[in-house]
Amino acid sequence: DRWLDIGALCQRVLPGGSQITAIRYFTARVKDKPKPESRRRQEVYLRALQTVPNLTIHFGQFLSHEVRMASAKPPPRTVSVIKTEEKGSDVNLASWLLLDAAQDKYDQAAVITNDSDLATPLDMVRRDFLKATVLLAPLANGRKLSKKLHSVCPQVRTIRRAALGASQFPEQLRTARGVIHKPPHW
């Protein structure tokens, strides 16, 4: 599922006849530490995504900082851990969703998420800009749909494992800059 062709997935799960005019992909660059191979795999995947027509990539960032957390083992105590979290991707998605609606760049927005933090911008797009919205919900591995998202976006299409499997890039992609190979163990 990590070698996902997002354009192919959207074609597969959106209603027949849907015209995809733009795809925005939101992510953050993986840091080299502690696993430099993760960054290399991400770079290969980002190159593969650049072969998808009308797709643009928007970056947030990963921030790491030391925090104290409760230990899982008795006796009760706290331990210092390094917490890494992605910052900015959901805000970037919300910002572009609203800006594109305000600029009348789409009739219907399809958003792949199950993050309830996006309920307000999805509701604004529907209510204030009178744009249709469809939620493409990744519900593999027993995940349940966010009730908050469903309440503001009644049109939901579930992304099943079969759709993910059928929407993978080929093992090799030929581009003007050379061949892109699927990373090992993906």
Q: Is 13 exposed, middle or buried (0-12, 13-18, 19+ CB in 10 A)?
A: buried
**Token pair for residue 44?**
């290969």
User: What is the reported pLDDT for 140?
Assistant: 65
Amino acid at site 71: S
At 57-112, the pLDDT tens digits run: 999 887 777 889 888 888 878 888 887 777 889 999 999 999 999 999 999 999 99
At 123-173, the pLDDT tens digits run: 999 999 999 999 999 876 677 889 999 999 989 998 988 999 999 999 999
